[in-house]
Structure 1
Amino acid sequence: MENNQKALNLLGLSLRAGALTMGEGLVLKAIQQQKVMLVLVAADASQATRDKFSAKGDFYHVPVITAFTKEAMSQALGRPRTIVGITNAGFARRLIALLKT
């Protein structure tokens, strides 16, 4: 649980640093343009949405992690969000490290 909170704090920090792409359409476009290093999809997003982003992530070799609820992500970002793409490699690496432990 501790690492999840650190990851959510880091998510908020990456937003303030301008290292996030948010919203389904924008994140899909960023994946295709290979501008995102990591995609976070809310665990309570629809199955179709999770499947779509998993498939896109696999195809473009972008890790897709389903770790948080919409509520947790929205709280960390201060606005309702289901899908975010991390555009900064440093933030992406740190989030992956926090979420895999």
Structure 2
Amino acid sequence: MVIDQTQKLMNLIGLAMRAGKIITGEELVLKALIAGKLKLVFIASDAGSATTKKLNDKTTYYHVPIHDQLSTEQLTKAIGRPRKIIGINDAGFAKGMVKLM
């Protein structure tokens, strides 16, 4: 069985979750982003347009990469909780995830 890049990315997000290197939810992610703590941000492809624009603007301003190719269902499956926005605060995990994108 071949595991595709998306599944590998979801597995890595789950691993980061178990390692405590993830911040979830819009408010907490925005606070961490402003504080300069995030290395990568995931936003669900099916998130609302206002939320998507706000996060795109913030990540551009703070020079943090953003990934919007995973659905809410995929992000939820990856971390085991229903979430549309996930922030990665570990450089090692973020680097590995960027390679898989």
TM-score, length of structure 1 as denominator length: 0.95
Counterparts of 1:42-57 in structure 2, within 5 Å, are 42-57=44-59
The reply to whether residue 61 of structure 1 matches residue 72 of structure 2 is no
Counterparts of 1:19-98 in structure 2, within 5 Å, are 19-98=21-100
- Alignment partners' CA distance in 1, 2:95 and 2:78: 18
Q: How many residues align?
A: 99
Partner of 1:13: 15
Write the letter of the residue equivalent to 1:44.
D
CA deviation profile, 1:30-76 (whole Å, cap 9, x unmatched): 00000000000000001111111010001011111102000011011
Alpha-carbon shift at residue 92 of structure 1 (Å)? 0.4
- Percentage of pairs with the same residue: 44
TM-score, length of structure 2 as denominator length: 0.95
- Alignment partners' CA distance in 1, 2:88 and 2:14: 11
Unaligned 5+ runs, structure 2:
none
CA RMSD of aligned residues (A): 0.9
Write the letter of the residue equivalent to 2:10.
L
Unaligned 5+ runs, structure 1:
none
